[in-house]
């Protein structure tokens, strides 16, 4: 029996921490701009201008991330009978279970997938795949950072879907 599909959403409770910090950075940006304009000393003007730039960058990054998390209510990752689909990509394509040699949830909160390799692949392609696997840990890596999930249920679901796809591929037609 196939397990239920898993839809992974962004953690929305982190907004409670992110929004006040973004507001604090915006206030510090305004204060640094004010101090840069008040001082006549060139060194203090440069230091406060640099501080204003840094705090503005932090406020912008955190504020934009919080706004996107608040507005985006669709799932970020879908794990179902067709495969694993990361909807955060520009062109989300599911990675089908039949194409996976191995799938696992690693200790860095990522889904790491190793795909089947073909015997007809060129040597250059084999080397590039080996380098990619060495660098990333697998052929396809889906980061789960910032997504609400239960690792035990997720690992069990991944292995169930993968075993079901492997069993259906081995049965004669």
Rounded Cα gap, residues 68 and 74, in angstroms: 11
Q: Could you count the other beta carbons within 10 Å of the beta carbon of residue 72?
A: 14
Amino acid 50: pLDDT: 96
Rounded Cα gap, residues 127 and 150, in angstroms: 35
Mean of pLDDT values over 76-98: 87
Assess whether pLDDT exceeds 60 at residue 2: yes
CA angle 81, 82, 84 (to 5 degrees): 95
Amino acid 11: pLDDT: 80
Q: What is the DSSP letter of 103?
A: E
Assess whether pLDDT exceeds 70 at residue 1: no
Rounded Cα gap, residues 127 and 116, in angstroms: 15
Amino acid 10: pLDDT: 82
| pLDDT 10s digits, 35-86 | 999 988 999 999 999 999 999 999 999 898 888 878 878 888 999 888 899 8
| pLDDT 10s digits, 18-28 | 889 999 999 99
């Amino acid at each position: 029996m196939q397990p239920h599909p898993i839809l992974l959403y962004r953690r929305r409770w982190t907004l409670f921490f992110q929004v006040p910090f973004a507001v604090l950075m915006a206030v510090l940006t305004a204060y640094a701009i004010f101090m840069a304009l008040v001082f006549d000393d060139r060194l203090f003007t440069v230091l406060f201008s640099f501080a204003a730039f840094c705090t503005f960058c932090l406020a912008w990054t955190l504020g934009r991330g919080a706004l996107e998390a608040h507005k985006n209510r669709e799932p970020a990752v879908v794990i179902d009978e067709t495969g694993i689909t990361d909807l955060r990509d520009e062109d989300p394509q599911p990675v089908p279970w039949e194409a996976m040699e191995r799938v696992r949830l690693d200790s860095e909160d990522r889904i790491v997938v190793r795909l089947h390799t073909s015997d007809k692949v060129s040597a250059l392609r084999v080397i590039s795949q080996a380098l990619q696997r060495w660098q990333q840990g697998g052929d396809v890596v889906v980061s789960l950072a910032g997504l609400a999930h239960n690792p035990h249920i997720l690992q069990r679901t991944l292995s169930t879907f993968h075993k079901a796809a492997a069993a259906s591929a081995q049965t004669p037609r």
